[in-house]
A and B are shown apart, each in its own frame.
Chain A
């Protein structure tokens, strides 16, 4: 510790260079923490998906719907336990909550977007045992056309209680009704066992597809079909059997496990994990070179000083320690700044109205810097600082006093 003021003075010697190096290191750690948090969130999202559930979608894209008649045919496939049609409603809270007819999108409040879907409630909730709904609330939900079930977090966020009413209007024109936003009544609130299902979120809302059909007055097709299979080991065969059923139809299907479906959903741009990790690795390596270069310059500039320190009685090991410590100190400052920045950007992403809704569409409704990721980021910064400083420090270690003192 007694050398700390000495190290800090040296870092202030060329403060602009030090600041740039710290910022470079901070950028590296910022990217590491942010990318890893996104990946961890996605990974958690995928892990929470049951192997017993399949998703059947239009083979062209999930944005193309499937005929309602498909449901019964899918149900007839051996190995299928139940089928639930669903539509991504994409509803947002209107700015006005009086329920007046508002056709303009300007009245929607995007700052509080949350995932909401129209589903066939009975089979859907039956195949999602992780959503725990009290029996009496479940019955009330089924008996009320306008009823909806919301997650605990959503209920807490808006202060909604059983019996409360709120309004949503869809971003999809065909899911709008002429007389204004959809009115929903909170009939059930679901909880999730956080220990058993840590990644399952409770900020979602589900309501009956019948309500969507009847309120819009249209015969709407299904967005996707959720399929529960008897045996997860037969998921591949069942998927193939379902797709074979519609091989020669106008709307061919693509059936995959729910996990694969979500993975493809969040990774439409390609292998997201590989891409993000690749970016992180490239940036980390670049920063390693930047810091190593900075430390090399710093050591070269202070060659005479190294000779003086050794003349005064500092051992080569102590001089080497000072150089490495200086580099680690840069890592420490950069790491702290990067972790702080990452925490800040994630807070911003999950609170900025436009960005928040965009992330929600791929399931990233919650994004936060986990302590483990922050710790890893910080350790990464210290490690980078150490590695970057090691080679210049080795040069300082090996420098002979007589040679070092001759350096001008």
Chain B
């Protein structure tokens, strides 16, 4: 069963009179529990595709079905709800809120749930434990290394127990050692926690960790 089913998706942007085709009738399936890597040169459309899968953008035409929901049919509020329940997003630059501690950053998505404060705190601690940062719960992002920040960001992505994790170059801003640790962690989430992962990367070593690799070029898949 496909967790992600992208069918004949086109995405165009209009800049003045010019129409820019970023994705051109692209189709892609990612099975449940898969770890997929999207690769390709800059401007090939891989981040755009990732945004469509994550439900933070809508296709110009075609269908994007994620966890059984066609995100192209959802309105703005429906998309927000879809993201909060089904998708965990890992950014290249971590994007933690600087005024919040690690625990508070992880707790942030849970503010949208009906959980009590104690339950939210408990879940955040558990997520931090999973990424190996339970002892850094009260640290602020500025007090953490890049690798640690990314691990907190991963904890934030998984704290709501989403079906799909999407990662936009998660190791792009890290040194080799930290990158390896992050990829190990993602492997663990995929293997032990059965998370379906779609990852955009330029790094062949990162792509090797994925079960499947998809190469994009000028808005179409090459394999």
Chain A residues within 8 Å of B, Cβ to Cβ: 2-3, 5-6, 9-10, 12-13, 304-305, 307-318, 401-402, 405
CB pair A313 B97 closer than 8 Å: no
Q: With A305-B97, A313-B81 in contact, do A6 and B57 touch (Cβ < 8 Å)?
A: no
Q: Which residue of B lies closest to A1 (CB)?
A: B117
The answer to whether B89 has its CB under 8 Å from any CB of chain A is: yes
B88 smallest CB distance to A (angstroms): 9
Partner of A312, one of B77, B104, B109: B109
**5 nearest CB pairs, A to B:** A313-B84, A315-B80, A401-B56, A9-B99, A313-B83
CB pair B80 A314 closer than 8 Å: yes
Q: Which residue of B lies closest to A12 (CB)?
A: B99
Query: In the bound complex, how far is the Cα of B111 from the Cα of A2, in angstroms?
Result: 7
A402 smallest CB distance to B (angstroms): 6
Chain B residues within 8 Å of A, Cβ to Cβ: 51, 54, 56-57, 76-77, 80-81, 83-85, 89, 91, 95, 97-100, 104, 108-109, 111-112, 117, 156, 160
CB pair B77 A315 closer than 8 Å: yes
Chain A residues in 8 Å Cβ range of B100: 6, 9
Q: Which residue of B lies closest to A2 (CB)?
A: B111
Query: In the bound complex, how far is the Cα of B76 from the Cα of A5, in angstroms?
Result: 27
Helix, strand, loop or mixed for chain A's interface? helix
A10 smallest CB distance to B (angstroms): 6
Query: In the bound complex, how far is the Cα of B161 from the Cα of A313, in angstroms?
Result: 13
CB pair B76 A316 closer than 8 Å: yes
Q: Which residue of A lies closest to B97 (CB)?
A: A305
Q: Which residue of B lies closest to A11 (CB)?
A: B99
17 extra A-B contacts, CB within 8 A, seeds A9-B100, A314-B84: A2-B111, A3-B111, A6-B100, A6-B104, A9-B104, A308-B95, A308-B97, A310-B56, A311-B83, A311-B89, A312-B84, A313-B109, A313-B112, A314-B112, A316-B76, A318-B112, A401-B56
Chain B residues in 8 Å Cβ range of A313: 80-81, 83-85, 109, 112, 160
Chain B residues in 8 Å Cβ range of A402: 51, 56-57
Query: In the bound complex, how far is the Cα of B100 from the Cα of A12, in angstroms?
Result: 11
Query: In the bound complex, how far is the Cα of B99 from the Cα of A234, in angstroms?
Result: 72
Most buried by A among B56, B81, B100, B104: B56
CB pair B112 A405 closer than 8 Å: no
A335 smallest CB distance to B (angstroms): 24
Chain A residues in 8 Å Cβ range of B83: 311-313
Chain B residues in 8 Å Cβ range of A9: 99-100, 104
Q: Which residue of B lies closest to A313 (CB)?
A: B84
Chain A residues in 8 Å Cβ range of B81: 313, 315
Chain A residues in 8 Å Cβ range of B160: 313
Query: In the bound complex, how far is the Cα of B108 from the Cα of A11, in angstroms?
Result: 17
11 A-B contacts (beta carbon < 8 Å): A5-B104, A9-B99, A308-B97, A309-B108, A312-B89, A312-B156, A313-B84, A313-B109, A315-B80, A317-B77, A318-B112
Query: In the bound complex, how far is the Cα of B117 from the Cα of A90, in angstroms?
Result: 66
Q: With A6-B111, A401-B56 in contact, do A310 and B80 touch (Cβ < 8 Å)?
A: yes
Query: In the bound complex, how far is the Cα of B115 from the Cα of A73, in angstroms?
Result: 87
Query: In the bound complex, how far is the Cα of B98 from the Cα of A13, in angstroms?
Result: 9
Q: Which residue of A lies closest to B81 (CB)?
A: A313
CB pair B95 A304 closer than 8 Å: yes
Query: In the bound complex, how far is the Cα of B108 from the Cα of A10, in angstroms?
Result: 14
Chain B residues in 8 Å Cβ range of A13: 98-99
A304 smallest CB distance to B (angstroms): 6
A79 smallest CB distance to B (angstroms): 75
Chain B residues in 8 Å Cβ range of A316: 76, 80
Chain A residues in 8 Å Cβ range of B98: 13
Q: Which residue of A lies closest to B120 (CB)?
A: A2
Q: Which residue of A lies closest to B80 (CB)?
A: A315
Q: Which residue of A lies closest to B115 (CB)?
A: A2
Query: In the bound complex, how far is the Cα of B131 from the Cα of A186, in angstroms?
Result: 86
Query: In the bound complex, how far is the Cα of B23 from the Cα of A268, in angstroms?
Result: 77
B60 smallest CB distance to A (angstroms): 14
Q: Which residue of A lies closest to B159 (CB)?
A: A312
Chain A residues in 8 Å Cβ range of B112: 312-314, 318
Query: In the bound complex, how far is the Cα of B98 from the Cα of A12, in angstroms?
Result: 11
CB pair B54 A2 closer than 8 Å: no
Most buried by B among A307, A313, A317, A402: A313
A158 smallest CB distance to B (angstroms): 57
Q: Which residue of B lies closest to A13 (CB)?
A: B99
Chain B residues in 8 Å Cβ range of A405: 91, 95
Chain B residues in 8 Å Cβ range of A312: 83-84, 89, 108-109, 112, 156
Q: Which residue of A lies closest to B112 (CB)?
A: A313
Q: Which residue of B lies closest to A312 (CB)?
A: B109
B188 smallest CB distance to A (angstroms): 22
CB pair B111 A311 closer than 8 Å: no
Query: In the bound complex, how far is the Cα of B55 from the Cα of A312, in angstroms?
Result: 11
Query: In the bound complex, how far is the Cα of B109 from the Cα of A316, in angstroms?
Result: 15
B214 smallest CB distance to A (angstroms): 21
Q: Which residue of B lies closest to A307 (CB)?
A: B95
Query: In the bound complex, how far is the Cα of B78 from the Cα of A317, in angstroms?
Result: 12
Query: In the bound complex, how far is the Cα of B111 from the Cα of A148, in angstroms?
Result: 71
Query: In the bound complex, how far is the Cα of B156 from the Cα of A309, in angstroms?
Result: 12
Q: Which residue of B lies closest to A319 (CB)?
A: B80
A7 smallest CB distance to B (angstroms): 10
CB pair A10 B56 closer than 8 Å: no
Chain A residues in 8 Å Cβ range of B99: 9-10, 12-13
Query: In the bound complex, how far is the Cα of B210 from the Cα of A152, in angstroms?
Result: 91
Query: In the bound complex, how far is the Cα of B156 from the Cα of A308, in angstroms?
Result: 11
B221 smallest CB distance to A (angstroms): 21
Query: In the bound complex, how far is the Cα of B112 from the Cα of A5, in angstroms?
Result: 15
Chain A residues in 8 Å Cβ range of B80: 310, 313-316
